[in-house]
């Protein structure tokens, strides 16, 4: 089961379930309604899917041809997108991080929802960047309110996971000690469909995370290598601010990023970057030149 966002004719976002072959998108609810009871919608849709009822004219809602709809992230405008900066030991050891001691608590930074996009979307290189860097990873979706949660409570509140590419503008990131500018380029956060947590299992059991550039593997990690677990990190965050349904946690990237290589390797216009994760599927995007940002801005 894969949950996506679709743009309705009136500009609003609806949440839909993709058919097994990806040819159809079956509308489940409005974006707001879905996140009011994500676990319920996932359970209902899952039962319908198992019964083989997700075809044309599904009782759950309109059945749309995927080729005719605009896919968008099923993310609430007010959602928090929290990212773990250093969560795989080999990634900590590469590049400018190699001399750092492993901190007791995770290094966290934020993305704005406006930086998020979907598979298939073009990712522009900002004007002052020599290229972009890839960071294949997994996002966890929060489905319940968390305040001062235990790690067990926090993990139980996760309703699903997605592939994610934390595409980074390294020059902007390295200008200061704060990473937000380099982590919020236009369309720099491609996000795959939400797969229910029950179908994914515990990340500590080990999922392979692979990133490819033009078909060549550049990252090949496993979630067993994570330093900070999803439950621990969400619990830690919840002791400072309330996590709400629809918030996201990006769980960090394995080693193999481009800027840490010798020679450095950055994504250029025309490159195709893919993130593949066990049980979550493949997320693919194409890099384009910086002029595409001006064109997109003029249309919006």
CA-to-CA distance for 210 and 280, rounded, in angstroms?
11
- pLDDT confidence tier of residue 50, bands split at 50, 70 and 90: very low
Q: Is 31 exposed, middle or buried (0-12, 13-18, 19+ CB in 10 A)?
A: buried
Tokens linked to 262: 């010798």
CA-to-CA distance for 94 and 39, rounded, in angstroms?
39
Q: Where are the alpha helices (DSSP H) in 164-229?
A: 170-174, 197-200
Tokens linked to 106: 């995770």
pLDDT at 253: 95
Could you tell me if 193 and 2 are in contact, meaning their C-beta atoms sit under 8 angstroms apart?
A: yes
Outline where DSSP puts E strands in 19-120.
24-30, 63-65, 71-72, 81-84, 108-111, 116-118
Comparing 299 with 179, the larger pLDDT belongs to 179
171-180: average pLDDT? 94
Q: Lowest-pLDDT range, 42-46, 214-218, 225-229, 247-251?
A: 42-46
192-202: average pLDDT? 96
pLDDT at 96: 58
CA dihedral 165, 6, 121, 18 (to 10 degrees): 70
pLDDT at 99: 60
List beta partners, residue 189.
116
CA dihedral 38, 42, 43, 49 (to 10 degrees): 160
Tokens linked to 63: 């059945």
Comparing 53 with 298, the larger pLDDT belongs to 298
Please give the domain boundaries of the chain with CATH numbers for all domains: 2-71 (no CATH), 75-299 (3.90.850.10)
130-143: average pLDDT? 98
Residues in the chain, total: 300
| Mean pLDDT over each residue of the chain, to the nearest integer | 91
Closest CA to 29 of 21, 41, 44: 41
pLDDT at 53: 40
CA-to-CA distance for 44 and 36, rounded, in angstroms?
14
234-257: average pLDDT? 97
CA-to-CA distance for 209 and 30, rounded, in angstroms?
31
Could you tell me if 292 and 122 are in contact, meaning their C-beta atoms sit under 8 angstroms apart?
A: yes
Q: Lowest-pLDDT range, 42-56, 67-81, 156-170?
A: 42-56
Could you tell me if 123 and 293 are in contact, meaning their C-beta atoms sit under 8 angstroms apart?
A: no
Query: Would you say the pTM of this structure is higher than 0.85?
Result: yes
User: Quick check: helix, strand or coil at residue 282?
Assistant: strand
């Amino acid at each position: 089961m894969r949950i996506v966002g679709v743009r309705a004719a009136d500009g609003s976002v609806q949440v839909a379930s993709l058919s097994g072959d990806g040819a159809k998108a079956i509308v489940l609810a409005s974006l707001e309604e879905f996140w009011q009871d994500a676990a319920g919608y996932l359970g209902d849709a899952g039962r319908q899917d198992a019964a083989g009822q997700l075809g044309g004219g599904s009782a759950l809602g309109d059945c749309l041809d995927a080729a005719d709809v605009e896919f968008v992230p099923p993310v609430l405008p007010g959602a928090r997108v929290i990212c773990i900066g250093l969560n795989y030991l080999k990634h900590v050891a590469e590049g400018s991080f190699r001399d750092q001691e492993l901190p007791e608590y995770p290094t966290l930074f934020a993305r704005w929802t406006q930086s998020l996009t979907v598979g298939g979307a073009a990712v522009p290189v900002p004007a002052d960047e020599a290229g972009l860097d890839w960071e294949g990873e997994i996002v966890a979706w929060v489905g319940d309110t968390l305040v001062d949660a235990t790690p067990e409570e926090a993990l139980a509140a996760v309703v699903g996971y997605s592939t994610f590419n934390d595409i980074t503008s390294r020059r902007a990131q390295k200008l200061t000690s704060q990473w937000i500018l380099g982590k919020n380029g236009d369309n720099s956060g491609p996000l795959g469909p939400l797969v229910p947590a029950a179908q994914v299992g515990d990340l500590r059991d080990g999922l392979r995370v692979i990133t490819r550039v033009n078909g060549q593997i550049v990252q090949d990690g496993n979630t067993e290598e994570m330093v900070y677990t999803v439950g621990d990190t969400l619990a830690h965050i919840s002791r400072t601010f309330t996590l709400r349904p629809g918030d996201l946690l990006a769980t960090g990237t394995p080693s193999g990023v481009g800027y840490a290589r010798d020679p450095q390797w950055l994504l250029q216009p025309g490159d195709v970057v893919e993130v593949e994760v066990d049980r979550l599927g493949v997320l693919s995007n194409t890099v384009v030149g910086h002029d595409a940002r001006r064109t997109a801005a003029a249309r919006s």
